Amino acid sequence: MRILILLSICCLSFGVCLGQAPTKLEWGEKFNSPGSQLVLKETGRSRINGQTIISYSIFASGLPKDLDYTLWTRVGDGNPQAVADAYINNDGRVVNVLADPVHNVAEDAINLKVVAGKGEPKRFAVISNDGGHRVFGQVIPFPIENGAGPCHISVEMLTANYNSVLIVANGFQAREELQIDSKSEGESGQTTATASDDGTYRTVVFTQVKGKQSGKTKVDISAKSCRVGVEFPWGQSSYHIQ
């Protein structure tokens, strides 16, 4: 996976960013401070050297605005990395420098510019430097997804070259019985599961097949509500910047 590209950020020195580092085990929206949310709003796309550059602004809600924060990112299954000193302005936008008209200081917003492959999440966190407040969020610029009737299925790359992925399907009835069929380069499997109370099913799939360096995996989920499936590549040369 290609690492995040960041532009229009003044602080890129880990020696300057003083926030307490989150761990891999403490990453994700389930660790959000109560009532907080991190939203990435796409502001544009452009093509440079055959790659699509996607721009985002970041907004945080539900966190105190009078604290010093650090913006963090995490690529694949790697450790979180500090990106920039961060503050939250009165509109909830995450910025590198707050406006200070009295001292003739202009606001410097954090504008993210990223490249990504299909199904690759871009994950971020805004965490107060005292560790007491935190919010996590992510965006997938190029989803691998499919829909059928009320149901929807998507694939999120967890490790390089789609060697492990997260399958998320929703739109089922609450607690509905599901049949999951998977096929990958001559190997197949079948199992049953139950949708959650909100009609969602999640599972991690490890795609490697013995003796194969690459291939395609297809996952189909059947229920009374619908039948929905998705196919994706894995292994050598499967990942491409879009």
Find out whether 122 and 41 touch, Cβ atoms under 8 Å. no
Domain end marker among 89, 112, 139: 139
Q: Give residue 203's Cα distance to chain centre.
A: 16
Burial of 81 (0-12, 13-18, 19+ CB in 10 A): middle
Q: How confident is the model at residue 128 (pLDDT cuts 50, 70, 90)?
A: very high
Q: Mean of the per-residue pLDDT values for the chain?
A: 89
Q: How confident is the model at residue 108 (pLDDT cuts 50, 70, 90)?
A: confident
* Mean pLDDT on 89-114: 86
The model's pTM is: 0.84
Predicted confidence (pLDDT) at residue 235 exceeds the cutoff of 60: yes
Number of domains the chain is built from: 2
Which tokens sit at 70? 């650090």
Q: Domain range for residue 63? A: 24-139
Domain end marker among 139, 171, 195: 139
Predicted confidence (pLDDT) at residue 13 exceeds the cutoff of 80: no
Residues 133 and 148 in one domain: no
Residues 101 and 150 in one domain: no
- Which residue bears the tokens 């691998």? 144
- Has residue 240 been placed in a domain? no
Residues 28 and 135 in one domain: yes
Domain CATH for 118: 2.60.40
Domain end marker among 139, 155, 170: 139
pLDDT above 70 covers a percentage of the chain that reads 92
Q: pLDDT value at position 19? A: 58
